[in-house]
């Protein structure tokens, strides 16, 4: 069972089951634990080939045992997402851990621009269970409805779930307007019904400084 200790440490109570977690994220454990590095995001040879082709990098370890294991990564805020047969799309760098009832994969999410035709890929988590995702600062969960679509800066985007359609559009950001942008600026637009997770800071993206 996943539970948070504060907002930056994930505690997992284990009774012989397996948990997949970001490689190197274990900070402490009690009881008996074993750790095994997984290739291809834990999806075997096919997953390893897919991730190399798409450039979506994710290195996981499998943790099994009896006791409690604690995970953290660079003092990031941790948020728990409960999945009931649905699918979570998450940036691989923001995925901390998944329990044994969830499967990970890779999904094509669209084109960055019609002129360049560059594809964007993201990690998927689906099934029944809990996933722990990380954010730089407290996560903000935004509701998208058919009446109210949402546009997100890709540097702040973490994850989304629900019946959402995702598209990419060029746009002028504040920093581009001030002459500080570099490269093509674009935004992510979500339409439909679901949730989008964003963080109150921006990382570098494939679009450059946006």
Q: Which residues of 54-66 are buried (b: 16+ CB within 10 A; e: fewer)?
A: eebebebbebbbe
Contact 94, 78 (CB under 8 A): no
DSSP 46: H
- Burial tier of 35 (Cβ tally within 10 Å: 0-12, 13-18, 19+): middle
- Tokens 């019904």 label which residue? 193
Contact 208, 184 (CB under 8 A): yes
- Tokens 């992510």 label which residue? 188
Confidence of residue 171 (pLDDT cuts 50, 70, 90): low
C-alpha–C-alpha distance, residues 41 and 22, integer Å: 9
Confidence of residue 13 (pLDDT cuts 50, 70, 90): very high
- The pLDDT mean for the chain works out to 81
The terminus-to-terminus CA distance of the chain in angstroms comes to: 38
Strand, helix or coil for residue 174: helix
C-alpha–C-alpha distance, residues 200 and 154, integer Å: 12
Confidence of residue 203 (pLDDT cuts 50, 70, 90): low
21-69 pLDDT, tens digit per residue, is 999 999 999 999 999 988 655 444 444 444 444 444 578 899 999 999 9
């Amino acid at each position: 069972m996943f539970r948070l200790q504060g907002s930056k440490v994930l505690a997992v109570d284990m009774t012989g089951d397996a948990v997949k977690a970001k490689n190197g994220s274990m900070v402490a454990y009690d009881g008996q634990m074993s750790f095994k590095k997984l290739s291809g995001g834990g999806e075997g040879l096919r997953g390893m080939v897919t991730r190399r082709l798409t450039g979506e990098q994710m290195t996981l370890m499998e943790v099994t045992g009896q006791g409690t294991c604690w995970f953290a990564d660079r003092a990031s805020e941790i948020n728990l997402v409960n999945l009931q047969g649905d699918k979570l799309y998450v940036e691989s760098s923001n995925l901390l851990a998944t329990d044994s009832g969830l499967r990970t994969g890779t999904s094509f999410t669209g084109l960055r621009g019609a002129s360049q035709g560059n594809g964007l890929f993201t990690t998927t988590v689906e099934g029944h269970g809990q996933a722990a995702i990380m954010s730089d600062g407290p996560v903000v969960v935004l509701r998208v409805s058919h009446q109210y679509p949402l546009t997100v800066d890709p540097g702040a985007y973490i994850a989304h779930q629900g019946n959402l359609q995702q598209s990419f559009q060029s746009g002028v950001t504040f920093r581009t307007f001030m002459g500080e942008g570099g490269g093509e600026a674009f935004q992510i637009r979500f339409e439909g019904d679901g949730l989008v997770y964003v963080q109150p800071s921006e990382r570098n993206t494939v679009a450059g400084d946006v």
